[in-house]
Structure 1
Amino acid sequence: MRGIWLATVSRLDWPPLASVNPANSATRISQQQEALKAKLDKLKELGINTVFFQIKPDGTALWPSKILPWSDVLTGKIGEDPGYDPLQFMLDEAHKRGIKVHAWLNPYRVSTNTKPSTVAELNNTLSNQPPSVFVLHRDWIRTSGDRYVLDPGIPEVRDWVTSIVAEVVTRYPIDGVQFDDYFYTESPGFTLNDNQTFKKYGAEFNSKADWRRHNTQLLIEQVSRTVKQLKPNVEFGVSPAGVWRNRSFDPNGSDTRGAAAYDESFADTRRWVQQGLLDYIAPQLYWPFARDAARYDVLAKWWVDVVKPTNTRLYIGVALYKIGEPSKKEPDWTIKGGVPELKKQLDLNESLPQISGTILFREDYLNQPQTREAVSYLKDRWGS
């Protein structure tokens, strides 16, 4: 599996900003569709066979959903019909080129900021069909850092997220569903205030951290079960932060000193693999071999040991976005255009039979001057 993430949040990879406010909607549609086709042509040329397409960047959708309003990344306005179905278009065009599509959803993010203008826009969806969850279920919404998120401890929230996955799986010939690493998102000084929720639902837990991990576990179980009931051939996977736990905290952890999914996102990713809840796991191993705190090879081999006794496939997320970027702590990304580091990572992935593929983060970095040498190397290595 040679994959790439294609992000739509804040229009990172697509659609092009210039397409959002054109003279008329026909121009916008053709600009967005042509841009996507050009990207898929390039991916095919590079030998990429799977695209992880972000169809739910926040509390909005890139398909005509009965649950979520249309995404503002398409038209500049939440809830405005873009005049075509981007998910269906992506599926048609990718499948035509022999490329698989996994629908990538951010489960809990409602907005990327908390600006008054964003609040006004979310409130304006009240008259829409469907309105934003922000106005429909104000009691589910929390602030985390500089964004609005859903509170994962509320059972109805998990049901709601699952219903969105069910809608997509039922209606579209997608090849897979993927959640990224945003379960509980917090940063120091910006904690998610779920004290009331914990009081209400967490009585039998010794710590809030254990209760939070339990909530994430319930979401994964529910979504996994739902996908398998609806379409057993659709794959369900997660792309968590690369470190599950550090060995200094847990003897089962990796020999690393990185931010750990278990402790920071409240996601017991190793357990999901052990329990067979995922068809694949794609840890984000965004460090070079020489990064002592989180060595690429140490983590890749740690994950290999986790999946070995299971049927879960392992794909490795690789940091295309760091290639060619000067970094004091990780100088290897700039040596000879980053090609030697990339080669080492791909060589390792291909040498370990338990690693079933590589996913690059993210698509627009294929078009940046600093990755030119690396892209040309990928084309030689993967391209037809």
Structure 2
Amino acid sequence: MKRSGWLVAVALIIAGCASQPPKSLVTPLPTVAQPSLPTKPLTDQQPMRGVWLATVSRLDWPPVASVNASSAASRISQQQKALTDKLDKLKSLGINTVFFQVKPDGTALWPSKILPWSDMLTGKIGADPGYDPLQFILDEAHKRGMKVHAWFNPYRVSVNTKPSTVAELNATLSLHPASVFVLHRDWIRTAGDRFVLDPGIPAARDWITSIVAEVVSHYPVDGVQFDDYFYAESPGSALNDSQTFRQYGQGFASKADWRRHNTQLLIEQVSHTIKQLKPSVEFGVSPAGVWRNLSHDPSGSDTRGAAAYDEAFADTRQWVQMGLLDYIAPQIYWPFSRQAARYDVLANWWANVVKPTHTRLYIGVALYKVGEPSKSEPDWTVNGGVPELKKQLDLNESLPQISGTILFRENYLNQPQTQQAVNYLRSRWGS
């Protein structure tokens, strides 16, 4: 497989900015001294028993209260203790892998030379938290025999477009590094009521790849994962990439085909970069559970759900077929009885997709729905959701193509409505 081209040292100047503006930082690829080594044989793989740990909006971590701690020392202590407590609980449940969100938006949870520090840690973008959360979780998880995959949201810059958010992003101009929002305003679009990067701009894809390269080359992460936010639009807030399409879309029959091409270029570039830097680091994607519906494509699943191919412009099946991913973790967040997107229909469909390939299949399971009343999905509340969860795990273990399960997401393990299910997981997976 050819290495994808690599553009480095992209430095665009902010229009109209006085004196010398800060430069965009793109990490060049280190020279690889040794030839690539094959990844570990599949026989060495434990079944995946994973959990997503979200930092965006402090959903799972860090504790909201820690940001208002009386001192930096107190804040650090609270944040670190919260993380080690979580790891201890996960270990007791038999969880062996944590998908830790290191890039929730246009900020970082490690001391990056490309991204400013995340405001999730201190309340202020660019403020040094006084420790390295990524190194901390790696040390603590590895000490407990658990793996950590660095989870990146590739294109999101912010979770909203409020004037206060714009002011916070603009205020990073004097920082080193500043936010991409001020360094490359021409890359920024609005979509889904958020600021995002335009996936059609080659330099923006290079920039994302350089961020992954920074983490992979400096940290002993076990894997890298992108979630399902590629082209992330909403009906009332579409991404306006008409100008980008005019500039880069020649030769494509439709904007949709061009968008899918852009998404694939990012996946190819990141995949090749990781394998060049550290062949042992796994690269995976966690897309929406439906690739395409049978009604749109004879190769699709017998479902009627939102499809990654048509809505996120992500041809996830093709990435598997091309060998670009070590694993794929579709989010199959429905019960067996949901006719529009049955769990078993989708799990079997994905099992058939990976069957002729070397890509491992993990299934993302909707822990967040367990115990929650729902007219369309009542099974999640029957006996605390345990029978539904058991059926899903039983199916995962019965299909040889499925290599494990990932729960979305960590904080739901601590909610009252999930405790019957948590006890069940402990009895099934725990030591």
Give the alignment's TM-score, normalised by structure 1. 1.00
- In the other structure, the counterpart of 1:144 is 191
Partner of 2:117: helix, strand, or coil? coil
- In the other structure, the counterpart of 2:340 is 293
**1:97 and 2:114 matched:** no
- In the other structure, the counterpart of 1:237 is 284
Q: What are the within-5 Å matches in structure 2 for residues 361-372 of structure 1?
A: 361-372=408-419
1:187 Cα deviation after fit: 1.1
Q: What are the within-5 Å matches in structure 2 for residues 6-21 of structure 1?
A: 6-21=53-68
- In the other structure, the counterpart of 1:341 is 388
Question: What whole-Å deviation, never above 9, does each CA across 1:24-54 have from its counterpart, x for those lacking one?
Answer: 1000000000000000000000000000000
- In the other structure, the counterpart of 2:236 is 189
Task: Give 1:67's match in structure 2, choosing from 99, 102, 114.
Answer: 114
Question: What whole-Å deviation, never above 9, does each CA across 1:303-328 have from its counterpart, x for those lacking one?
Answer: 00000000000000000000000001
Letter in 1 for 2:117: W
Q: What are the within-5 Å matches in structure 2 for residues 236-315 of structure 1?
A: 236-315=283-362
Identity %: 83
Task: Give 1:212's match in structure 2, choosing from 259, 278, 303.
Answer: 259
Letter in 2 for 1:109: R
Q: What are the within-5 Å matches in structure 2 for residues 312-331 of structure 1?
A: 312-331=359-378
1:189 Cα deviation after fit: 2.0
Unaligned runs of 5+ in 2: 1-47
1:227 Cα deviation after fit: 0.2
**RMSD of aligned Cα (Å):** 0.3
How far apart in 2 are the matches of 1:233 and 1:291?
A: 38
- In the other structure, the counterpart of 2:24 is none
Partner of 1:20: helix, strand, or coil? helix
Q: What are the within-5 Å matches in structure 2 for residues 35-54 of structure 1?
A: 35-54=82-101
- In the other structure, the counterpart of 1:81 is 128
Letter in 1 for 2:316: T
Task: Give 1:168's match in structure 2, choosing from 184, 199, 215.
Answer: 215
Q: What are the within-5 Å matches in structure 2 for residues 102-117 of structure 1?
A: 102-117=149-164
Letter in 1 for 2:109: L
Unaligned runs of 5+ in 1: none
**1:177 and 2:224 matched:** yes
Task: Give 2:206's match in structure 1, choosing from 159, 163, 166.
Answer: 159
How far apart in 2 are the matches of 1:190 and 1:297?
A: 33
How far apart in 2 are the matches of 1:210 and 1:21?
A: 47
1:98 Cα deviation after fit: 0.5
**1:119 and 2:166 matched:** yes
Letter in 1 for 2:313: F
How far apart in 1 are the matches of 2:128 and 2:316?
A: 37
Task: Give 2:77's match in structure 1, choosing from 26, 30, 41.
Answer: 30
Letter in 2 for 1:365: Y
How far apart in 1 are the matches of 2:393 and 2:289?
A: 16
- In the other structure, the counterpart of 2:13 is none
Partner of 1:166: helix, strand, or coil? helix
Question: What whole-Å deviation, never above 9, does each CA across 1:114-143 have from its counterpart, x for those lacking one?
Answer: 011110000000000100000000000000
Partner of 2:273: helix, strand, or coil? helix
**1:223 and 2:259 matched:** no
How far apart in 2 are the matches of 1:299 and 1:151?
A: 30
- In the other structure, the counterpart of 2:3 is none
How many residue pairs get aligned? The number is 384
How far apart in 1 are the matches of 2:140 and 2:271?
A: 27
How far apart in 2 are the matches of 1:184 and 1:369?
A: 35
How far apart in 2 are the matches of 1:12 and 1:293?
A: 29
How far apart in 2 are the matches of 1:362 and 1:12?
A: 9
Question: What whole-Å deviation, never above 9, does each CA across 1:70-98 have from its counterpart, x for those lacking one?
Answer: 00000000000000000000000000000
How far apart in 2 are the matches of 1:281 and 1:226?
A: 18
Give the alignment's TM-score, normalised by structure 2. 0.89
Letter in 2 for 1:272: W
Partner of 1:98: helix, strand, or coil? coil
Greater than 6 Å deviation, 4+ residue runs: none
Letter in 1 for 2:174: S
**1:5 and 2:48 matched:** no
How far apart in 2 are the matches of 1:24 and 1:114?
A: 30
How far apart in 2 are the matches of 1:88 and 1:370?
A: 33
- In the other structure, the counterpart of 1:357 is 404
How far apart in 2 are the matches of 1:206 and 1:355?
A: 36
How far apart in 2 are the matches of 1:218 and 1:165?
A: 15
How far apart in 1 are the matches of 2:328 and 2:335?
A: 20
Letter in 1 for 2:337: A
How far apart in 1 are the matches of 2:345 and 2:193?
A: 33
How far apart in 2 are the matches of 1:164 and 1:359?
A: 25
1:146 Cα deviation after fit: 1.4
Letter in 1 for 2:152: L
How far apart in 2 are the matches of 1:192 and 1:224?
A: 26
Partner of 2:221: helix, strand, or coil? coil
